[in-house]
Amino acid sequence: MNKNHAAQSLLQHKCNLISYFVVLPWQIIALFTCAATIGVSHPDIVVETNTLSSVPPPDITYTLSIPPSSISSGLLSALQLEAIIYACQQHEVILQNGQRAGFLIGDGAGVGKGRTVAGIILESFLKGRKRALWFSVSNDLKYDAERDLRDIDAPNIPVFALNKIKYGDMATSEGVLFATYSALIGESQAGGQHRTRLKQILDWCKPNFDGVIVFDECHKAKNATSTKMGKAVLDLQNKLPRARVVYASATGASEPKNMIYMSRLGIWGQGTPFKTFDDFLHAIEKRGVGAMEIVAMDMKVSGMYIARQLSFSGVSFRIEEITLDKDFKLVYNKAARLWAEALELFTTAAKTLGMASRKSLWGQFWSSHQRFFKYLCIAAKVRRLVELAHTEMQHGKCIVIGLQSTGEARTREVLDENDGRLDRFVSAAEGVFQSLVQKHFPTQKPKREKSAASKRKRKPRGRATKFPKHRVEVGGVIKISDDSDSDSDEIDSDSDSSPESLQDSDDVIFLNHINGPLRKQLSESQNDLFDFVIVQLNQELKQGLLGKIAELGKELPLNTLDELIDRFGGPEKVSEMTGRKGRVVRRPDGSVRYETRAEQGLTIDHVNKERFMNGEKLIAIISEAASSGISLQADKRVQNRRRRVHMTLELPWSADRAIQQFGRTHRSNQVTAPEYIFLISELAGERRFASIVAKRLESLGALTHGDRRATESRDLSQYNFENKYGTKALDKITKAILRQIDNKVLPPKSYPGGDIIFFKGNVILANCLSFVPYIPDCTITKFLNRILGMEVHHQNSLFQYFTDNFDYLINKDKKEGKYDMGILDLAPGNDEIHEETQEKFLTPGNPQEGQVILYKISVDRGMPWEEACSKAEKLTGEFEGFYLSNKLRGNQPCVLLAEQGRGRNLILFKPNIGKQAHPENLDNLLLRYYKVTPDEAKDFWESQFVFSFTNCTHANW
């Protein structure tokens, strides 16, 4: 059909249009143009999405009080001044629920949100509002807040750290009260006037507070309904209805459900199309990517939102895929087999004790399972990372390594076990496994409800009955003996025993049997006796498993962070910014010791940052503790101006955290843009960690592309499986493995033993995916977690089968026109757009009282005969020209025009759609079409061109 009523199908009513989404998925970027005409240009190139740049912000009506000297000197750039103006302008609006409207600064990391926020506080201070609240993620960022105020020539505004003020004291009457989000939920055990920090803050603000409240890095409050911190953020806003709220974050709402804390935007509630947040959330989620993009545009038009990003011009980006050596694969496979055995042991022990469906037990098991294999995935990449780092440093660059896990908890456990002494590097992976078994292996019988009659009976006083010891004979028969001096024989702890051999062992069958019908035939004392035997046997199973873990631990890799520092030459060479208290270091004589990281009177992470920026150390390792707020770019104002090579050894659990971490090295005022290297091993299970980040990066447009539709094969979006296609693909492979359906997609050909062995070997996994009773359906996250525990060749083959199905489903939807591409540019070629109708709607509840215009349009993508004939006259190739189909459609053949492309591919033009999106292979074309002269093609071309004005036509042969 050459006329598509595109807008009519997308926008049905004003309530459908007035949906809001904060983080705009990246499309093609456009240079950002300031609406404000004052100030000096920003020192770096700043861009915004094509969709956002296509709509103007509201007219400026606010008059700044910031001194002209600060503006003309460039202390605040033009784009920072624009954000300040629009924020202050929005703060003049009172929403229909009586609260003052808030403003969201969605600028990307490094644009300069700190100075923008400082400018808003300065503007409020100059208007006579001498108090402000500034919340952020770390107390160390107070120094950055002071620096930002100093940089804009406002050093006279004092900043007080709430953590330095006692609960019973009041801060000074003027200035900025700086606090962390965690401080909002602080409580004093001593009681007194200010029992909670929240009450202390409210008392300091006084009633009718109308100063600024800054929620910097506001993504920390995203779980407002489920965490104390999030609820406190909402509570503070509700109790100070006239406060001037500013939300600031590069990752303010990665998902619509996380926006609930942004109550001051006036998107839902009284006087809006959405009475509650749930109504808003439902309206957003059902409309997909396109609606999200539209509503972000509407937010900009309304004056409540601004979002710019630093241009990624000059940034290089690559994925380094790391192959595993033979020794590492052997260790990984041993670990996978031992975890499979542990699963069977946990299952058996839980069943015999009546704990099989305990949610807490299996939650602990699978979280430990995931962390264990995550540590192995990280360790697999250390050697290659060190090689890359040394190579880059030889080329005059410096290194920033991104980590999330420090392994400090396990190191402290070993210290406690050895009375504060440590003579070896610690394996974090071993610690996770060991801790799980020691703390959570089922060995205690849950309390059994007694009958009313038994509850009335009193136990005789005196010595408790002495239970006889038991032992397990060959064949698994449990014998009860009165010989209290005899020792129970240990169950054979063969490290190579398989889960199958354990499952079929006689002692397990016996235990399962006595937990069944036999229980009902026994007296209470006999049941107690059997309970004792079961507990004793489970204790032996536990000790046997701990012994196998200790053996495996000798081969497991050491703590990654300590090993990295050791390989780079020790703490003297590496700036560690991780927040941990101590580290394990190697002495000159080769021995190992644990030492504290603290330095007299100094914050060690802050000191290390300064040492990296002034060039004393050329390698920095950062974790989440240093991934928000700090600047590590090649700043023009620092001594170390080497190009930063940012290596991501461990992708964060949360994609928001990944965005924050990447933003540490790409910021304003830098000499050179950074280079990003993502290290991903060949382990299929590691895609679990890449996928969560890819999902977020895809919506932001990845690091090097300003377009989420970019087809660059080295983009992380190739790892995004957490969508409807991933869910469908998982459902298909699970059912195929269980032989519930016949799947068109074949298993990998390289699998040893062929299809039969592939399906047989993966039945265990399919059952495992639905193992946990409290999770009825298998999810992508669960699948990617579980395959981590499979042997290397098994998980890689299974993952290949999954991705093959994933790609098949996407390609199928693309062919059928069902693939959601979000907002697309109309008329990308020579298409003609015709406006048919135009309707205007007022938007009640909109702070700027704007309007929505609904255009109903048609797009003409067809090619008239005159244009086709003119193009054909220029074609001289053997296979170029007009073709008719061998089959008839209706009562006439299909017609097309072919132009020579690359190799044996032809570019096709059709009367109804013009140029076909994809080229056609010559051999395929000749099977279905035959070449004709222009005179033979003319009537059919004109007929189909006219027919397509009002009708759809599809040819699939």
Q: How confident is the model at residue 700 (pLDDT cuts 50, 70, 90)?
A: very low
pLDDT tens-digit series, residues 175-205: 999 999 988 888 876 655 557 888 889 989 9
What are the Cα distances from residue 750, in Å, to 747, 766, 793, 852? 9, 21, 10, 57
| Nearest of 640, 1, 653 to residue 374 by alpha carbon | 653
Q: What DSSP element (H or E) covers 944?
A: helix 934-947
pLDDT tens-digit series, residues 348-370: 888 877 765 577 788 888 889 98
pLDDT of residue 131: 94
| Nearest of 40, 50, 124, 110 to residue 78 by alpha carbon | 40
Give the CB-side neighbour count of residue 769, counting CA atoms within 13 A: 22
pLDDT of residue 934: 93
What is the rounded distance in angstroms from the CA atom of residue 837 to the CA atom of residue 620? Answer: 59
| Nearest of 13, 46, 49 to residue 822 by alpha carbon | 49
pLDDT tens-digit series, residues 261-305: 888 988 888 888 888 888 888 887 777 666 677 777 878 888 999
DSSP annotation of 24 reads: P
pLDDT of residue 351: 80
β-bridge pairing 592-596 and 582-586? antiparallel
CA dihedral 615, 616, 618, 624 (to 10 degrees): -100
Q: Report phi then psi at 103, rounded to 5.
A: -140, 140
What is the rounded distance in angstroms from the CA atom of residue 351 to the CA atom of residue 516? Answer: 10
pLDDT of residue 488: 32
Q: Which amino acid is at 120?
A: I
| Structure tokens belonging to residue 824 | 């697309």
| Structure tokens belonging to residue 203 | 């008392």
Burial class (CB in 10 A: 0-12, 13-18, 19+), 820: exposed
Asked whether the predicted pLDDT for residue 256 surpasses 90, the reply is no
pLDDT of residue 938: 93
Top-ranked range on mean pLDDT: pick from 108-122, 308-322, 503-517: 108-122
Share of the chain above pLDDT 90, in %: 21
| Mean pLDDT across 244-263 | 79
What would the DSSP string read from start to end of 737-794? HTTSS--SSPPPTTSTTHHHHHHHHTHHHHHHHT-STT--S--HHHHHHHGGGS-HHH
What is the rounded distance in angstroms from the CA atom of residue 196 to the CA atom of residue 198? Answer: 5
pLDDT of residue 473: 36
What is the rounded distance in angstroms from the CA atom of residue 646 to the CA atom of residue 315? Answer: 11
pTM of this prediction exceeds 0.75: no
For CA atoms 298, 299, 300, 303, the dihedral sign is: positive
| Nearest of 557, 553, 549 to residue 380 by alpha carbon | 557
| Mean pLDDT across 157-181 | 84
Q: How confident is the model at residue 15 (pLDDT cuts 50, 70, 90)?
A: very low
Radius of gyration of the chain (CA): 33
What are the Cα distances from residue 755, in Å, to 729, 760, 793? 18, 9, 15
Q: All domains of the chain, ordered by start, with CATH?
A: 35-309 (3.40.50.10810), 316-437+553-719 (3.40.50.300), 724-816 (no CATH), 865-949 (no CATH)
What is the rounded distance in angstroms from the CA atom of residue 894 to the CA atom of residue 523? Answer: 85
pLDDT tens-digit series, residues 22-58: 332 333 345 555 665 677 888 888 888 777 787 888 8
User: 3-state DSSP call for residue 42?
Assistant: coil
Residue 533 burial (CB count, 10 A): 22
| Mean pLDDT across 908-933 | 88
| Mean pLDDT across 329-346 | 90
Q: How confident is the model at residue 771 (pLDDT cuts 50, 70, 90)?
A: very low
Burial class (CB in 10 A: 0-12, 13-18, 19+), 894: buried
Give the lowest-confidence range in 416-425, 576-585, 745-754, 910-919. Answer: 416-425
What is the rounded distance in angstroms from the CA atom of residue 813 to the CA atom of residue 820? Answer: 9
Place of tokens 């639905």: 770
Comparison of pLDDT for 903 and 460, the residue scoring more: 903
| Nearest of 104, 48, 25 to residue 303 by alpha carbon | 104
pLDDT of residue 823: 55
Residue 450, C-beta contacts closer than 8 angstroms, at least 6 positions apart: none
Residue 58 burial (CB count, 10 A): 18
What is the rounded distance in angstroms from the CA atom of residue 347 to the CA atom of residue 8? Answer: 56
| Structure tokens belonging to residue 620 | 């920095």
Asked whether the predicted pLDDT for residue 850 surpasses 70, the reply is no
Q: Report phi then psi at 308, rounded to 5.
A: -125, 160
pLDDT tens-digit series, residues 812-829: 887 776 766 555 555 545
Asked whether the predicted pLDDT for residue 107 surpasses 70, the reply is yes
Bridge partner residues of 669 (DSSP): none
What would the DSSP string read from start to end of 477-530? -EEE---TTPPPPPPP--TT--HHHHHT-HHHHHHHHHTTGGGGGS-HHHHHHH
Query: Are 100 and 264 within 8 A, CB to CB?
Result: yes
pLDDT tens-digit series, residues 653-694: 555 667 777 888 888 888 998 998 888 888 877 765 565 565
| Mean pLDDT across 143-153 | 91
What is the rounded distance in angstroms from the CA atom of residue 113 to the CA atom of residue 111? Answer: 6
Q: How confident is the model at residue 652 (pLDDT cuts 50, 70, 90)?
A: low
